[in-house]
Chains A and B, each alone.
Chain A
Amino acid sequence: MRYKILTAAFAAAVSSPFAAPASAADLEVAHWWTSGGEAAAVAELAKAFDATGNKWVDAAIAGAGNTARPIMVSRITGGDPMAAFQFNTGRQAEELIEAGLLRDLTDVATKENWAQVIRPASLLEGCTVDGKIYCVVVNIHSWQWLWLSNKAFADAGVPVPTNWDEFVAAAPALEAAGKIPLAIGGQPWQTTGAFNVLIPAIAGKDVFLKVYKDHDAEAAAGPEIAKVFKAADDARRMSAKSNVQDWNQATNLVITGQAGGQIMGDWAQGEFQVAGQVAGKDYTCLPGLGVNELISTGGDSFYFPKLDDPEKTAAQDVLASTMLSPTTQVAFNLKKGSVPVRGDVDLAAANDCMKKGLEILASGNIIPDTNQLNTEDTNNQLNDLFVEFFKTPTLTPEEAQKRFAAIIAAAD
């Protein structure tokens, strides 16, 4: 499957030069959106860009960011850049910008007044280096969601929980009914993500910021984080039987009622939508695990490498403004399950879960995403720690916390 998509992507990239219209340009856009909901969302961007007379050449790289990013970076540093590429909003492109490989978009940004329309303002800060803007933020994704299958709880004969503690308490009943209480895929970033969601929910926003923003090793070794590790220990027991790899396979366990719930970002919403499920009726979403209602403002951004061809450079500007136009923002984000970055768009079509997210966003109870705070190096070390923790019942929470504190102490 993976190879099929790759081959298709390559085929698309290779065949594109021959289909070029005379005046407009073909832009190759690289991203890692390949699941059902994601592919539907990216098709909206492509449609909007094609409508401007240019051509979107899709270069999807399957296998999530950790697989796709090295491929994109090696193409850019190797002197064969694509016209645009997706990274997570945050520090991932830091060095590419410093090395002068990416285009400065400040002109487009001032012309279209991004500073006014993009909210929260912290999103644009992530794109800004030395006062210049280098990326287009296309959406806001938050990690802090617990997705619950109403069917699984009905089968187990317990009410659908309203917070994390009730969920932990309901786990034995779910297990007795032959369900996996908590679905977590085997990919390392999923376990790290789940832990990072537990931090603000259990220990609060301030501890989260102390650990990840100030990289305060003492806080990381402190009693608040010890509580988080205890909760992670519960999560470990509840997820012991989930033996799927990809996040959407884990989501599918929740959709089909084989698992009670999943801690996953709001992109999981797209999967429920593709499966025709209705929020509140078929599934329930608890932002901040129902304990501490806040969301993080991560997401995806598009960056534009410097190109020699002036026609393509002009088309890059068109693409940048297309991605931020109100209509594209609504169409794209509804499919993607994320929140638009513009505050001035009409979201009447949003479902219950998305409305909850919008309310929290408006209330200002937000935290930065770990991608905005940590380097990829730190994130990878955390991945190594948590994937081992979640799969090794003999690794005690205390020992894991010691390692966690060491990683935070070394982070920059």
Chain B
Amino acid sequence: MSRPKQLFRNLNAKIASIPMILTAVVIFVGGTAWTVVHSFTNSRLLPRLNFIGLAQYERLWTTPRWLISIENLLIYGSLSLIFSLLVGFILAALLDQKIRFEDTFRTIFLYPFALSFVVTGLVWQWLLNPDFGVQSVVRSMGWESFTFNPLYDKDLVIYGILFAGLWQGTGLVMCLMLAGLRGIDEDVWKAARVDGIPMWKTYLFIVIPMMRPVFVTTLVIIASGVVRVYDLVVAQTSGGPALASEVPAKYVYDYMFAAQNLGQGFAASTMMLLTVAIIIVPWAYLEFGRRR
């Protein structure tokens, strides 16, 4: 007898949230399901329900370009996780030392985050261009043989993109970390000082474990950003030289639209969804599952 009451309790709020629920169900869940279903078809320019089993996936995993994209994503992803967490935390810890002009520094470090990936990509394309970037500046100062040309070197290009990505994103990580550090009770620090524990040990063994939720949230933000990296690559290298800086999101776009092969693009985007699910599901389980 209590069930209908539950349903109609707070009715206004429930009605008000109907549009958002519909959006979530129809657009996100529905769109995702539609994409997954069509990834098993041979749709070309227009979606068609002509099922061909796993053929799109078989083709995907034998395509050299997709394999290069995955490899690049792994390099870019793991390094940008490590470095943005490391650098972001160190910057936050330094800012937390009650220094002067903290606001100024924080603004400076966070500023790149205000730029879009497209602008970031273009700026770093120019900075790393051998003809008018860092290389030409150093050469004009007299070091004629200086060579610094990462964007035109197949083995280095992904690190050139990584650097631009870190430059853009580390400020945000720093701010999240700083918020986490500010959340640590002053008394913890006092107690550590009374016990004579050195500062680095306090950070490593007391503060960081206490900041676990902040770290997990940051990790998810960085990881989801990594999986969908696209605009940065397009603006900086458009995938070149050759296919050396291709990423999965670019494969999806190119095959869905330029190659007029929706089936192949959908198969690739389903694989990306799977990657995100692998990241998000354990996190959601850890964060929300425990509380029950």
* Interchain CA distance A95-B48 in the complex, whole Å: 11
Please tell me the number of chain B residues within 8 Å of chain A, measured between CB atoms: 22
A141 contacts the other chain (Cβ, under 8 Å)?
no
Which positions 233-292 of chain B face chain A at CB distance < 8 Å? 240-244, 254-255, 257-261, 264
B44 contacts the other chain (Cβ, under 8 Å)?
yes
Contact size class for A? 20 to 34
Please tell me which stretch of A35-43, A151-159, A173-181, A386-394 contacts chain B, meaning at least 4 of its Cβ atoms lie within 8 angstroms of it.
A386-394
How does the 8 Å CB contact mask read for B49-82 relative to A, with 1 for contact and 0 for none? Answer: 0000000000100011100000000000000000
Q: Which residues of B contact A387 (CB under 8 A)?
A: 240, 242-243
Return the chain B residue nearest A186 by Cβ: B240
Nearest CB of B to A340, in Å: 29
* Interchain CA distance A94-B264 in the complex, whole Å: 18
A107 contacts the other chain (Cβ, under 8 Å)?
no
A96 contacts the other chain (Cβ, under 8 Å)?
yes
B257 touches A99 (CB 8 A): no
Please tell me which stretch of A46-54, A202-210, A323-331, A375-383 contacts chain B, meaning at least 4 of its Cβ atoms lie within 8 angstroms of it.
A375-383
B259 touches A377 (CB 8 A): yes
Q: Contacting A384 at CB < 8 Å: which of B64, B241, B257?
A: B64
Question: Contacts A95-B45, A384-B65, A403-B64 given: A377-B240 contact, CB under 8 Å?
Answer: no
**Between-chain CB contacts (< 8 Å), 6 pairs:** A69-B257, A73-B45, A74-B257, A376-B260, A384-B64, A388-B64
B259 touches A376 (CB 8 A): yes
- Best-buried of A69, A77, A388 by chain B (most CB within 10 Å): A388
Q: Which residues of B contact A379 (CB under 8 A)?
A: 259
Nearest CB of B to A64, in Å: 10
Q: Contacting A375 at CB < 8 Å: which of B59, B257, B260?
A: B260
A78 contacts the other chain (Cβ, under 8 Å)?
no
B46 touches A95 (CB 8 A): yes
Of all A-B residue pairs in the complex, the 3 with the closest CB atoms, nearest first, are A391-B242, A70-B257, A380-B259
Q: Which residues of B contact A277 (CB under 8 A)?
A: none
A116 contacts the other chain (Cβ, under 8 Å)?
no
Nearest CB of A to B31, in Å: 15
* Interchain CA distance A99-B44 in the complex, whole Å: 12
Q: Which residues of A contact B261 (CB under 8 A)?
A: 376-377, 380
* Interchain CA distance A225-B202 in the complex, whole Å: 68
B152 contacts the other chain (Cβ, under 8 Å)?
yes
Return the chain A residue nearest B45 by Cβ: A95
User: Interface majority SS on A: helix, strand, loop or mixed?
Assistant: helix
* Interchain CA distance A403-B65 in the complex, whole Å: 12
A380 touches B258 (CB 8 A): yes
B255 touches A380 (CB 8 A): yes
* Interchain CA distance A391-B239 in the complex, whole Å: 12
A69 touches B240 (CB 8 A): no
* Interchain CA distance A77-B47 in the complex, whole Å: 11
How does the 8 Å CB contact mask read for B214-245 relative to A, with 1 for contact and 0 for none? Answer: 00000000000000000000000000111110
* Interchain CA distance A66-B258 in the complex, whole Å: 5
* Interchain CA distance A186-B241 in the complex, whole Å: 8
A390 touches B242 (CB 8 A): yes
Nearest CB of A to B227, in Å: 21
A410 contacts the other chain (Cβ, under 8 Å)?
yes
* Interchain CA distance A74-B253 in the complex, whole Å: 13
Which positions 70-108 of chain A face chain B at CB distance < 8 Å? 70, 73-74, 77, 92, 94-96, 99
B255 touches A391 (CB 8 A): no
* Interchain CA distance A376-B260 in the complex, whole Å: 6
Given contacts A381-B63, A384-B63, 16 further A-B contacts (CB under 8 A): A69-B258, A70-B257, A70-B258, A77-B46, A92-B260, A186-B241, A243-B152, A375-B260, A377-B261, A380-B255, A384-B243, A387-B242, A387-B243, A388-B64, A388-B65, A391-B242
* Interchain CA distance A25-B221 in the complex, whole Å: 51
How does the 8 Å CB contact mask read for A231-256 relative to B, with 1 for contact and 0 for none? Answer: 00000000000010000000000000
